[in-house]
Structure 1
Amino acid sequence: SNRTEAPDLTPDRDDIYLVSVKDGETNKLETEGASKYALSFSPDGRFLAYIGDVEEGKWWQNARLWLASVDGSQPVRKLSQSFDYHLMAFSGSDTGGGNMMSPTWAPDGNTIYVQALHKGDVALMSFSPIGDAITVNQLIETHGIVGPYTFDKAHQKLAYVLGNQDGPGQLYVRDLNKGSDRQLTKLNQSWLRRKALGNIEEVWFDAKDGYELHGWILKPNGFDPSKQYPSILEIHGGPQTQYDRGFMHEFFFLAAAGYVVYWSNPRGGQGYGEAHCKAIYNNWGTVDYYDVMAWADYMREKSYIDPRRMGVTGGSYGGYMTNMIIGRAPDYFKAAVTQRSVSNFFSMWGSSDVNWQLQQSVGDNKPPHANLDKYWDQSPMKYINNAKTPTLVIHSEFDMRVAQEQGEQVFVALRKLGVDTEMVLFPGEPHGLSRDGRTDRRVQRLNHILRWFDKYLK
C-alpha cells in the first residue's frame, strides 16, 4: 500500500501491511526498498521474502530479493546484493506476459527460490541465507525460459515449464537428489514438425568501443549461403528487458517469408548486470544507438546479407530506436516499421502512465519544462528532418504507456517531408498489442509488417 500524501506522484513507493484475521487490525511491516511485489512467508511464518526495487524510478537497478522479520526483531536483509542480475521473469517475447512466481521457500526455511533474467535466459536461482553468509546457485542450467514451477511436499522433485527458441514450452520434472531431468510433455510438436522454422545462430560480437554484446541470427528454411537475402533488424522494447532464448513467433513468421531476421541485447537492457543497464540512464540514444548500429554493421558484412535490402523494426523502446535510426542514419535501411513508438519525450512526459520514471531516466529527475534540452536531445523528433526511409507507423488507440500522439508526430513529420509513410491504428488495443492483443488484430499487425517490408525489400 502507498499511503503517502500524494501516491499518484510517488507510485514506486510501497509499504507492506499485515492485517489481523481476528480483528482486522493493520500493522506496518518494517521493510526497505521502493516498490515491493511477489510476497512469500517462510514456512514457520517468522519471515517475509519479497522482490523489490532499491530506489524509486531507477529502472537500471536490479530488482532484489529482500527478507524481513514479521515481528521486526531483526534487520531487513537484501539477500541478492552480490547477485548482479534482475530478479524478474518477463523478457522480450510475443507469447504473452511473463510467468513471474513469488519467492518459493524450501520446507526447512533455509533456501529461497526465485527467477532471474540472466544473459538471455530466465533462470531459476536459489538463495540460502545461513547466518551472515548467502549462497547463490542456479538450479536449472539448461538454456531457456523457466516459467511456472513447484516442488513436491518432500522437496525431492521439482516440476517446471521450460521454453526455448524451438517451441513455447514443455513440462519437465527434476529429481533434486540425482540432478536429472525428465520431459513430461511434447505439446505442439506435431504442429511444429509441419512448419519450416529455419535455424537460429547465437553470436557474441563487439560494439564499436570493444564492449561484448549478445545476439541471434535466424536464417530462413532452405538457407543457401551462396545467395543474398533481404534482412530485418528487430529491436526489443523496454529498454529495461532482454531478448531471450524463448520462442518468438514474429521472427519465424518473417523468416518463413524469406528474410534473415536478427536481434540483440544492446546496452540499456536488463539481464547483463546493472552497469549494462545504467549505460543509457539519462542518455538514451547514445551508446545504445551505437550498439544497435554495430550489430547492423556486423550483419551487413555477411556475404549472405544484401546491403540494399535491409529493414528495421521494433516496438516501444524498439520503436524509439527505429525512429532514431531513420533520422540519424537515413540512408542505411531501405524500409522501417516503427511500432507503439516513442518520438518526443517532452510530450510523452505529459501523456504517459510512467511519466515519473521517464523523469528519472531521461530528465535527471526534472520535468521537461525545467530541463528542455535534456529531453529534446534524447528525442527522435530532434533528427526527424533528415528522414528518407519509407516508414510504416503502427500504434494502438488505447496505449496508455506511449500515447497515440507519439506515433502521429512521426507520421505527420514524414508526410510533410514527402517520405513514403502510412499509419495503421488499432482501435481498443493496448500498448502490448503484439503479445496481449485480440488474436485477429495480432495477425493483422504481422501482415501489415510483412506487407511493408515486401513492398521495399523484395
Structure 2
Amino acid sequence: MELEDLYSFKIIDDPQISNDGKFIAYTQTVASKQYNNYRSKIVIYEIGTKKIIHEVTDDYKNCFPRWNINNELIYLNINKENNNYSIKLFELYNKNCKLVLEQETSISDIKISGCNNYISFLKYDDDYLNYDDELKEEVLFLDRFSWKSDSLGFTGNSYNHLYVYDLKNSSLKKVTDGKYDISGYAWSNKGSNIAIVTNKSSTNDFERKKEIYYISNLNHSENNKITEFEEIRGVDISFSPNDDYLTVCGHDTKEYGHYGLQRIWLINIKEKKKICITENIDISFGDYSRNYDLKYFGGNDKIEWSRNGDEIYALSNEYGYIFLNKININTSKISRIFENKSVIYGYVFDEKEEKFITLEATSNDPANIFIYENGNRSKITGVNDELIGNLDLKEAEEVWFKNDGIDIVGWVNKSDKIFDNARPLILYNGGGPGGMRTNTFVFEFQYYAKRGFTVMNCNARGNYGHGEDYSLAIKGHWGDLDVSDNIAFLNNYLNSTKNDGRNIFTAGGSYGGYITNWMICEHPDTFNAAVVDRTVFNRASFFGTSDIGFKLDNTEHSNVMPWENINTYFNRSPISKIQNIKIPTMVVHSAQDYRCTVDQGDQLFAALKYFNIKTKYIRFFNENHDLNRLGSPRNKIIRISEYIKWFKENLK
C-alpha cells in the first residue's frame, strides 16, 4: 500500500431514494492529484435493474441530491474558484439539466418543501461592518463575539439565515432575519410551514441553549416559540405525518454540555409541550462517529417518522457501532431493523417503508450503500472492492478489556510485518470528547499497518456508546480516566501478545492531541516517541481564540472564567506538566485551525525546544482543524508521510 493510493479511493456519501422507491441518487467523491482538491459527481442508480443509469458530472462539486415528487433531482453545484454556488434541477427522464438559481456565497442544508413549490437553504447574510470590497482584504471590523468558524473561516458579524425560493414565481425570500443563527429547520409535510432551530437570546453567542420556533406560511413575524432545550448538537428536526408533532435529539441538563446523550424528544406543536421518549434508554441517537478520514458529505442521520405516526426511525450509537432502529413513540420500545457490524453514517427509505437504504462503513471499507428489503440485505455499491482486494486490507480486531472494573472496547489494526526485528505499536488517541470512536475505516491506520506498525485505538471514557455516566466520567477531568483507559488498553494488549514493548509510539489529533500531550507527561518512560496533532496545550489561552473555546471550557470548568481562577485552567493544561516530557515529540498543526488554534501548537513546539527535547514542527499554512479528514490530498499525504518518518526515525 502506498500513500498515492489515496487518489484511488472513491468516497460514497448522502444516498437519497426517490419517492416512488425506484431510484437512488448519491455522491461519489475522488481526490484529484492534478488539481489537489476533491471532485464530486452525483450517481443515479435504478433499483429494479441494479444498474447505474446516469451520472451528473458538472465541473467541480455536485452534491446534496434531493428528489422532488416528480422524480426530478435538485442538487448543488459548487465552484469555489469563481464564487459560484448554483442550485440545479436534473430531469431524469429526458436527461435535461437546468439552472434554478445562483448565489455568490456558500449555501447549505438544501431542502424541498412538502408541497413541492419551494426550495430552501441556509446562508450567511451580508456583513454590515465589512461591506467595502476594497477593505475586505486589509481589515476586519468586528462587533460579534462569535466571528469565526473552523469550517467556514471568518464569518465576521454575519448570521446564518433561512432563504426560500418560490419555484412558481422564480423569487427568493429571506424568511428569517436578526442577530441569531438558524442551525437547522424542517418543512411540514403539507402546506408551507417550517420549524426552525435557533437561539434568539441577546446572549446567544455565549449559550448552548437552542430554541424551536414555528413559522406559518413563510411568515416569521409572529415569533411563535414552541420550546427550548439546553443543547441540540445536531441540526435536524422532523415533522410527524400529520404535522402535529416534531421530533428532535437533544438534552435538557445544562451542566452536561456536550457530554449529555442526545435523546429523542416528542414536541406537541399546538400545546407547546415536550416529552423525552428515550429517557430510560441509555443511548445517544444520530451519527456521532469519530476517527474516520474518508468521509466527505455523510448522510441523513436525523429522526424519521413512520407513515403510521406511531413509530420513528433512529440511528443509535452503541459500543463503537451505529445501528438503525424503530422506536414506538407510545411505549418507547426499541428494535433494530436488521443486525449489522458496521457504522451507519446515514439512511433513507421509500414512502411505503419497504426499502431501507443505508450508508455503512467498516474498518477495511470506507463506505458502501446497502438496501434492506423483504428481510434481505444486500450491497448496492462496491466501488472500492477491487482496490481493497488488491491492497489486501484487513478488518481491525475487536478487543474488550476492563479498567477500574468497567468494560471498554477497542480495535487493533494488526501488522504481520516485522520491521527490522521490531514489532512496533502506535497507540492512537481519538478526538472528541463527547462523540464515539468507532470501528470504521481509517486510511492512515491501514497504511501504518502495511508499513509494519500495529495501530490501536479505543472508545475510552468520555465518549458516547456506553451510557451517559461513561460519557460524563471525564467532565472537568481531562487526562485522567481517558488516559488511564488507553494505558490499560495498551498493557492488556502487551500482556496478551508476544510484543516485547520496546517500540511503542503514541499519537492523536484534536482532543486526541491533548490526550497524547498529557499521556507523555504522565507516562514519560512508556513510549519511544509521540506525535501531537492540532492539540490544546494551554487552556487559558483557548478562551477567545477557539471558535468553541468559551462554550467548551464553560462546561468543563463549571462557569469559572480564566481571570477568576487561572489555576483551574493551568492545572488541566499540558503546559503545566511540560517539564516531564522526555521523548522525541513531533508537533503538527494547521495555521487556519480556528478550533484548536495554531498558537497551541506554537507554544508546545517552543516549550519542547526550550527544554531541548528532540522535536519537529509540521505547520500547514492553508488547512483548518479538518486536516486529516478534509485537508487537501497533497497535505494529507504529507502529514501521514511525516508521521511514518518520525516513527521509523525513533525505532530502537
Question: Scaled by the length of structure 1, what TM-score is found?
Answer: 0.93
CA–CA distance in 1 between the matches of 2:303 and 2:640?
36
2:499 is aligned, of 296, 301, 305, to 305
Q: Which amino acid aligns with 2:257?
A: K
2:631 aligns with 437
Q: Which amino acid aligns with 1:67?
A: L
Contact 1:363 1:371 in 2 (8 A): no
CA–CA distance in 2 between the matches of 1:391 and 1:184?
44
1:182 aligns with 378
CA–CA distance in 2 between the matches of 1:438 and 1:388?
33
2:213 aligns with 17
2:317 aligns with 117
1:58 is aligned, of 257, 262, 267, to 257
1:214 aligns with 409
SS at match of 2:503: strand
Q: How far did residue 199 of structure 1 move? A: 4.8
Q: How far did residue 27 of structure 1 move? A: 3.5
Deviations 1:249-308 (A, max 9, x none): 110011011111111111111111111111111111111121111112223334432422
User: Is residue 2:229 matched to residue 1:33?
Assistant: yes
2:180 aligns with none
Q: How far did residue 228 of structure 1 move? A: 4.7
1:104 is aligned, of 287, 304, 307, to 304
2:542 aligns with 348
CA–CA distance in 2 between the matches of 1:35 and 1:243?
21
Which structure has the larger Rg?
2
User: Is residue 2:573 matched to residue 1:379?
Assistant: yes
Deviations 1:108-147 (A, max 9, x none): 11111122211111221222112xx221122232111112
1:234 aligns with 428
Q: How far did residue 87 of structure 1 move? A: 1.5
Contact 1:415 1:421 in 2 (8 A): yes
User: Is residue 2:199 matched to residue 1:2?
Assistant: yes
Q: How far did residue 415 of structure 1 move? A: 0.5
Matches within 5 A, 1:38-53: 38-53=236-251
Aligned CA distance change for structure 1 residues 304 and 28 (closer, same or farther; 3 Å): farther
Contact 1:323 1:338 in 2 (8 A): yes
Q: How far did residue 166 of structure 1 move? A: 2.2
Contact 2:422 2:503 in 1 (8 A): no
Contact 2:286 2:302 in 1 (8 A): no
User: Is residue 2:458 matched to residue 1:268?
Assistant: no
Greater mean deviation of Cα atoms: 41-50 or 366-375: 366-375
From the two aligned structures, give the one with the greater strand fraction.
2
Q: How far did residue 179 of structure 1 move? A: 2.7
1:76 is aligned, of 259, 274, 278, to 274
Q: Which amino acid aligns with 1:66?
A: W
Percentage identity across aligned positions? 29
CA–CA distance in 2 between the matches of 1:169 and 1:9?
37
Q: Which amino acid aligns with 1:194?
A: N
CA–CA distance in 2 between the matches of 1:241 and 1:35?
14
Greater mean deviation of Cα atoms: 444-453 or 366-375: 366-375
CA–CA distance in 1 between the matches of 2:636 and 2:252?
36
CA–CA distance in 1 between the matches of 2:608 and 2:498?
31
Question: Scaled by the length of structure 2, what TM-score is found?
Answer: 0.66
1:163 aligns with 361
Q: Which amino acid aligns with 2:411?
A: W
CA–CA distance in 2 between the matches of 1:310 and 1:99?
37
Contact 2:363 2:439 in 1 (8 A): yes
Contact 2:210 2:228 in 1 (8 A): no
Q: Which amino acid aligns with 1:311?
A: F
Q: Which amino acid aligns with 1:364?
A: S
Aligned CA distance change for structure 1 residues 25 and 277 (closer, same or farther; 3 Å): same
Greater mean deviation of Cα atoms: 153-162 or 389-398: 153-162
What is the CA RMSD across the aligned residues, in angstroms? Answer: 1.9
Q: How far did residue 40 of structure 1 move? A: 0.8
User: Is residue 2:607 matched to residue 1:413?
Assistant: yes
Contact 1:335 1:390 in 2 (8 A): yes
Contact 2:532 2:587 in 1 (8 A): yes
SS at match of 1:342: coil
Give the unaligned 5+ runs of structure 2. 1-197
CA–CA distance in 2 between the matches of 1:253 and 1:29?
51
Aligned CA distance change for structure 1 residues 199 and 2 (closer, same or farther; 3 Å): closer
Contact 2:437 2:458 in 1 (8 A): yes
Give the unaligned 5+ runs of structure 1. none
CA–CA distance in 2 between the matches of 1:237 and 1:22?
40
Q: How far did residue 436 of structure 1 move? A: 1.3
1:335 aligns with 529
CA–CA distance in 1 between the matches of 2:449 and 2:214?
52
